[in-house]
Chains A and B, each alone.
Chain A
C-alpha cells in the first residue's frame, strides 16, 4: 500500500462530499448508489512501461443476498499469453486482428496483496484464485475471485485493499503505450457487479466491453514532470516530486470507471458548452500537435452531442468533459469512458468528411448511453452501443452540415471526397451496408459476448440503430423520443436490462410492441419485402392491373404498398406482411406505371431494397439508361487501369 494516509484522507473526503456549482468532480446529492468507490494511488514508470498501484475500495452489498466472495476484473491479463479467452476469440474472428507484439509488450496485471479492513480484517492474498465463468478456460486470468472470511450482509459495507503491479501493453483493445504516448484504461483491479443471482463478473471478451457499479473515484497518479495528463474527473491537486515526477489527484463522483492518459506532446485547448436550458459544460481537449487545426471541429461535435442528447434524453450533469485525440497508431481512438472520451482523426482530414465529427459525436454520446445509463456491456451491448449509434446518426442528420462519402488511397493517407455523394442518416450513419452483409449472424437477444466475434458489432451497433430508426419512422419521433427519454430518466445511474427498455417502449407508446421486438431483438431473421410482379393489361376500355407483393425474408413487418398509375393517381394498400405474398388488383382507365413495397422506406432493415419496386412503361427505361451510364464510367476506370499497367511494357 503506497499511501495509507492519502487513502484515509480521501475516504473521508468521499464521505463528506461537498456541494457547489464549481466543477470539482463532487456531486451532491448523489446521483447513483455509489456502492463501489475507489481510492487509487498509482505510479507510472515510462521507461519500463510499468504501473505500480494500490487501491482501497469501499463496497456496499446492494443486493438482497449475502456476499460470500469477491470477484475482480483483471482485464490486462487478456493479453498475457495466447491462451486467454480474448485472444482465442480474436483468432476466431480474424487471425490478422492480433497485433504483432513481442512477449515483453503483451501486458499483464498481478495482484500482490488483497485484504479486507475493519472488523472483518483478513488477508485474502493466499486464497485468491482465477475463475472463468463464461467458458471454463483454465488459462484465462481475467477474473480473480477470493472467498470472504465472513459474508457481507445486504446493505453492509466492507473496505477492500489491494496492491498490484502491471505491465502496460503495446496497445490492445484501446489501451496501452506507443513510444511516449500512454492511454491507460481498464487498468486497475475492479470489482464485478454483485446481483441477486451472484457475481456478474465476465471474463474479458474480444467483442464486448465492460460493466461495473457506480461510485466515487479519487485517484492519485504519478507521471513524469512536464507530461500532460488527462483523466476521468476533475484535477484537485498537483505537486512536483523530487524524482522529476508530478503527482496529480483527480476526483469524480457517480461514475463507474476511471481512465487516464499521459504524454509529453499533447496540446491542450479549452472551450465551453452553453445552452439556455442545459447545464454548462467545460470542455478540455487534449489534441495531437499535428491536429491542432482541427480543435474546433472536436469542440463543435462535442457541443452538438451535448446539445441534442441533452435536449432529447436528459442533461449531462458532470459539468466537464475531456476530449482526447489519441496518438497515431495508439489504437486508443473511438472509445468512451466516464467524463472522458477518445475521438480520432487523421493528418489529412478534409471538412465535411466523417472524422473527427462522427466519432466525436458518438463517443460524447456515450456519456449518456453507457456513462449514465449503465447497462451490462458484456451481455447487452446493444443497449448502449446501439442506442448511441441511433442517437449519433440522428444528431448527424439533424445538425445540418452535409457529410460526403470519401475514400482513402496510398496506404490510407490520402483522402478523396466524393462531393456528389452525401451521406445519409438512414443508410450511412445507421451503418446499413455493414448490417446487410451479416443480418442473420446472431440473434440480438444472445448475450453479446457470445456473438460471433467478427460480426458481433453489426448486430450490436448497426441493427439496433436501424430498428430504432425504423421505429421512429413507424411510430414518429415524438413517441420514440419519449421512449428514450423515459428510459434514460428511469434508468440513469442504474443497470437496465433489455426487458426494461421493452417495457418502457410498450408503456410510453401505448402499444404492444412485443411482436416487433420478437422480430428485431429475439430473432436473427432478416427482412426483405419486394414487388414480385406488376402487370397492367388493356381489358376493354379499362386496364386491369395486377401487383404481387412478396415477403422474401423470414422476418415480418407491416408495410404499405403503393401502385401508381399513368395519370399520377395512386393506390396505397396496407399489408400486415405476414403471409408470403399478397395480390392487389385494380381496374382503371389508366395503366399502372409503378408499384412499390414500403414506399415510405419505413422498414430500414430491408436488406434488398432494389426489389422493392417495379416499373412499367415509360419508367422502365431508366434501368438501361442507368446501366449504360454506370458501365461507361466503369469502362473509363478500366481503361485507366490498363493504361496504368501498360507502363510495364
Chain B
C-alpha cells in the first residue's frame, strides 16, 4: 500500500466511518442514553415548577424568559443550567466557551460527562479495531476488542489524565488567570485584549491538539501493533508524529476543518426556541443530526489517523492481533465435526 497523504487519509477515514454505520449509531445512542435520564429529570423539575400555570402556554409557544429566569433562580444543581444559552447554536458556543474557559458545571453534569468519557474509553478499542480491520467484526468481535483493549486504555488514560490535568489544572490557570491578566493589565484598547486572549486560546488549543494527536496515535498503535505498554504506545506515537509530522498535522487540520464546517452548518440551521408542536420534534431532530455529525467527525479523527498510520507503517487492514472469535457453546463444540 502506498503511503497516503493527509487528504487521502482523511478521505479514507471518512470512507471507513461510512462503512461502519452501526458504530456511528451506537455512539449516538450512547450519547442519547447518557443524556436522557438527566433530561427526564429536568423535565420533571420543569413540570413541577410550571404546574398548571398559564406561564406554561407561553413557554410552550416560544420563550418565556421571565419564567425561565424564575426557574433557574429557584433551582439547584442541574436546574441551574436551564438558561437561554441552551437554545440553538448558543448551546454550542456555551459548551465550547465553557471548555476553553474551564467554566465549572454542576456536579451532576460533571459526573455524567465523566461516565461518558469512561464509556468512550471502553469503546475506543473496539472502534479503532473495527476501523483498522476495515471489515465487519460483528458485535462479538467489536465488544471483545473493546474489552481486550480496555485495561491498556485505562493505563493510557492515566497518562492522558496526567497530561490533561497539567493542561487544564496548571497551564490553563497560569495562562488565563496570570499571564493574560498580566498582559492586559495596562491595556485600554479592547481589540488588543481580544487579540491577546485569542492568541492564548490558539496556544492552548495547539497544545491540546498536540496532546490529542499523540494520544490518538498511541491508541491506534496500541490496537494495530498490539502494544500493551501505555507509555510505550505514547512514545511510539510521538515517534510516528515526528517522522510523519506533515501528514499527521495536515490530517488533524483537515479533521478540525470538518469540525468547523459542522459547526458552521449548525450555526445556520440550529433551531431557535420554536413552538411545542411538530416543530419541536423537527428542532430536536436537527439537534440530533448535529450531534450525529459531531460524532462522525470524532470517529473520522480515529479512522483517518488509523488509515494514515497503516499506510505509513503497516498496510491497510493490518492488525497484529487475530480477529477475536467468540467461543461457541460446549454443545456446539461437541456437535462440530472433527477436522
Contacts and interface: CB of A to CB of B under 8 A. Distances in A.
Interface stretch (B4-12, B15-23, B77-85, B239-247): B77-85
Given A179-B186, A640-B92, A647 B294 contact: no
Contact of A411 (B92, B101, B280): B101
Contacts of B46: 626-627, 630-631
A639 B69 contact: no
B276 interface: yes
A410 B53 contact: no
A436 B73 contact: yes
Interface in A632-649: 632-649
Contacts of A347: 190-191, 194
Interface in A585-637: 594, 596, 608-616, 619-620, 622-637
Given A409-B93, A627-B50, A642 B184 contact: no
A643 B294 contact: yes
B94 A409 contact: yes
A328 B84 contact: no
B39 A646 contact: no
A418 B272 CA distance: 8
Q: Is the interface of A mostly helix, strand, loop or mixed?
A: helix
A346 B190 contact: yes
Given A411-B197, A608-B70, A623-B47, A644 B99 contact: yes
Interface stretch (A63-71, A361-369, A419-427, A489-497): A419-427
B56 A328 contact: no
Nearest to A612: B53
A407 B187 CA distance: 24
A615 B124 CA distance: 51
| Interface bin, chain A | 35 or more
Given A615-B53, A636-B91, A413 B197 contact: yes
A433 interface: yes
B276 A640 contact: no
B35 A639 contact: yes
Interface string A34-49: 0000000000000000
Contact of A410 (B31, B90, B97): B97
A643 B295 contact: yes
B31 A181 contact: no
Interface in B83-117: 84-87, 89-101, 105, 109, 112-113, 116-117
A413 B194 contact: yes
B90 to A, nearest CB: 5
Interface string B287-307: 110110011001000000000
A625 B60 contact: yes
Interface string B188-213: 11110110010001000000100010
B272 A420 contact: yes
Contact of A290 (B36, B86, B98, B190): B190
- Which 9 pairs from chain A and chain B are nearest by CB? A636-B287, A631-B43, A409-B97, A635-B39, A327-B188, A622-B56, A613-B54, A626-B59, A626-B60
29 contacts: A180-B188, A327-B189, A328-B187, A329-B184, A407-B85, A418-B87, A433-B69, A437-B73, A609-B66, A609-B67, A615-B56, A622-B56, A622-B276, A625-B276, A626-B57, A628-B276, A629-B275, A631-B40, A632-B287, A634-B42, A635-B36, A635-B284, A635-B287, A638-B109, A641-B98, A645-B113, A646-B298, A649-B120, A649-B121
